[in-house]
Amino acid sequence: MSGAVWRCCPVREVIYADLPVEMQEELHQQAAQIRAARGEYTAAAYHLHRRSDDAAVELWYSQRTPEINRGRGGAALAVFSQISQRRLAFPGSANSCCSSVPNSTS
């Protein structure tokens, strides 16, 4: 079929929706670790956010300058605009909600 585009995303979404929540969270954790190990911190933050892990903020914040310089600021904004302002406490502050960050060096 010349010019046709096959879209796998609807199939992926159906399969994903059928997974137990615990499996979805585990898969997002694994994806976050892989992405962080590759230096893809905005993508890692997305996956941490999808599993409701407050470490998303701390992980991305620590790498914000290189991520913004790589043109990933807009993607980060899309992720963090979905998070309550109360959960977006400045990392390292007394109000910080972040307690753990995946080890991106291992």
Segment 63-72, tens digit of pLDDT? 999 999 999 9
Model confidence, pTM: 0.69
* Reduced 3-state DSSP string for 18-77: HCCHHHHHHHHHHHHHHHHHCCCHHHHHHHHHHCCCCHHHHHHHHCHHHHHHCCCHHHHH
Do the beta carbons of residue 56 and residue 79 sit within 8 Å? yes
- For residue 7, the model assigns a pLDDT of 54
Q: Is residue 102 classed as helix, strand or coil in its secondary structure? A: coil
Average pLDDT rounded to a whole number, residues 19-46 = 95
